[in-house]
Amino acid sequence: MAKQFNAKLASGSSEGSLPSAYQIMQFDITTNGGDVINIIDLIGTINITESLYRSSIQLNATIQDGLNFLEIKKLTGNEKINVHLKTVELTDDNSGEKKEFKLELYLASIQNYSKASPGVQYYELVAVSKHSWINQLKVLERSFQGSIGQLIQSICKKDLEIKPNFINTDTKDIIKGIYPKLRPLNAVSWLLRNAFDNSTPFYFYETATNGVNFNSYDNLIEEDTYREYKQKAFYTGEMDSKDAYEEGMAKIRKISSELNLSKYLSASSGAYASNMMSFDIATKKLEKNDFKYEGKKLKKLNKNLPFSLQTEFQSKKLNEFTKAKNHFISTNSLAFGNLSNYHQPLVPTLLKNEAYLENTEFMTHDIELNGDFDLCVGKKINLTLSKSSDPDELDDERGNMVDKLLSGLHIITSITHKFEEEYTMDVRCKKDSLVLELD
C-alpha cells in the first residue's frame, strides 16, 4: 500500500499534482534470512543525498518502530533496501507524467537510537549504493596502463561491478604505474587528482536519477541550462493549471549564501596567478611555468571576471602576482619509456586547474526548492535573485530589481531530496564568475 503526501488532485487524475506532492510506493528490507519486508508504515522521513564530490548517494530514513522490528528481524546493518518513490509532473492537458526513483541500496549503519516511551523505539537507517559497500571489502594491488578515463571505467566494471551512466574519455594521456594498495574508490580519487579536461577538474559522482558519472567541469558548464529559479511570490491563479505548477517548480522557497568574497584568501590559493617549478629527474631539466588568470583563456559560467582588474598592490594587478602560490613538482619522463607516469599530466596543467577549483568556491548559495526528480548534481541552473530594496524607492535607472552580483549561472554541487510532509530539496550551487562587470 503506497503512502501519499501533500497531494492536490488534478482534474481527472488520481495522482498528486503539486510540485511537493509524492508517494512512497515501496520501502522493502531484505533480511539476512532472505525475508522481504515492506516497512512503509514505519517510515517517518526519507532523505536522499547526492554530491558532485561523493561517489555514492546516501539514504537516511527515520523509523518509528512499535513492533520491535529491529530485534524480530535481526537487523545488523548490511541488509538490502529497495526504495520506490514517485511524483507526478503536471502536463499541459492537466494529466500527470510520472517521475520516480527506483533505488537498490545497502544498509551501512543503524544509528540515533532512542526510546521516548516503553512502547515505541526510534532509530535511523543509513544506506549507500552497492558499489560503495563493495569498496569496503577490497583493495587494488595491480599495475595499470591507459588513459585516466579508461582506468576509471575498468575499476567500475572489474572491481565495483557497476555500469556507469557516463564516462568522459577526454583524458588522452596514457599513464602507467601501480596502484599503491588503495580501495577502488580511493584509487578513483587518486586518479582524479591528475585528471584534466581542457585544464578543468574531473568529478566522479552518483545521482539518484542517472547513476554513476565521470565528467569534467569543462563539459558541465557547456551543457544547456536546466531551469531558471526565481525569488518571487507564488502563482495566485488557478492552482490546478500547468502555469501554477511551473511557477512552483521555479520558485526559490528559501536561500542562504556563503559569499566567500575574500580576495585576500583566494589570491594566496592560486585563484588568479601562480607558478610551478618542475624538475625532471631523468633528464635533469628544470622547467618554470607561470599562470595568470585571463578571462578569454578560461571558461566561465558567466561573462565577467570574479575579481577587479583595477585593484593594484605595488603597481601590479591581482593576476600578475605569480608568486602568490608556488608549486614544486618532481617528474620522471623516462620512467616507462615513451609512456607517462602518474605525475606527468600535472605539468603545467595543474596551475590552471587549481584556478578553476578555487574560483568555483567564489560564491555559494543554499536554496530550498520544491521536489524535482530530474534535477541532479552537475546540472547548470540560472538564479534570478531580487535586490534588497523597496521597489518604490528605486529610481528609473535602477528599476531592474535583479541583484546582478548574486544572480547568474551556477553549477549544482549537492542535493538532499527531503521526503517529509512534502517533497522538497536542499540544493547547494556555486558559480565562478559574475553577470555584473566589476570594472
Q: How far apart are alpha carbons 364 and 383 in whole angstroms?
A: 12
Q: What is the pLDDT along the chain (439 residues), one digit of tens a residue?
A: 577 776 553 333 444 457 888 999 999 999 999 999 999 999 999 999 999 999 999 999 999 999 999 999 999 999 999 999 998 765 555 556 778 999 999 999 999 999 988 889 999 999 999 999 999 999 999 999 999 999 999 999 999 999 999 999 888 789 999 998 999 999 999 999 999 999 999 999 999 999 999 999 999 999 999 999 998 766 566 666 778 788 889 999 999 998 888 899 999 999 999 999 999 999 999 999 999 999 888 999 999 999 999 999 999 999 999 999 999 999 999 988 888 888 888 999 999 999 999 999 999 999 999 999 999 999 999 999 988 876 555 444 445 789 999 999 999 999 999 999 999 999 999 999 999 999 8
Q: Does domain 223-260+361-431 correspond to CATH entry 1.10.10? A: no
Residues paired with 51 in a beta bridge = 414
Instruction: Report long-range pairs for 63-70 (Cβ below 8 Å, ≥24 apart).
Output: 63/39, 63/122, 63/123, 63/124, 63/125, 64/120, 64/122, 65/120, 65/121, 65/122, 65/123, 66/119, 66/120, 66/121, 67/42, 68/121, 69/37, 69/39, 69/42, 70/110, 70/121, 70/123
Q: How far apart are alpha carbons 371 and 26 in whole angstroms?
A: 18
Cell of 251: 520558485
Show me where the domains of the chain are located. Answer: 3-133, 143-215, 223-260+361-431, 263-335
Cell of 10: 488534478
Q: What is the pTM of this model?
A: 0.92
CATH of 3-133, one of 2.40.10.10, 1.10.760.10, 2.40.10.350, 1.20.810.10: 2.40.10.10
Burial (CB count within 10 angstroms: exposed 0-12, middle 13-18, buried 19+), residue 244: buried
Cell of 179: 596502484
pLDDT digits (tens, 9 = 90+) for 65-75: 999 999 999 99
Sign of CA dihedral 330, 336, 338, 341: negative
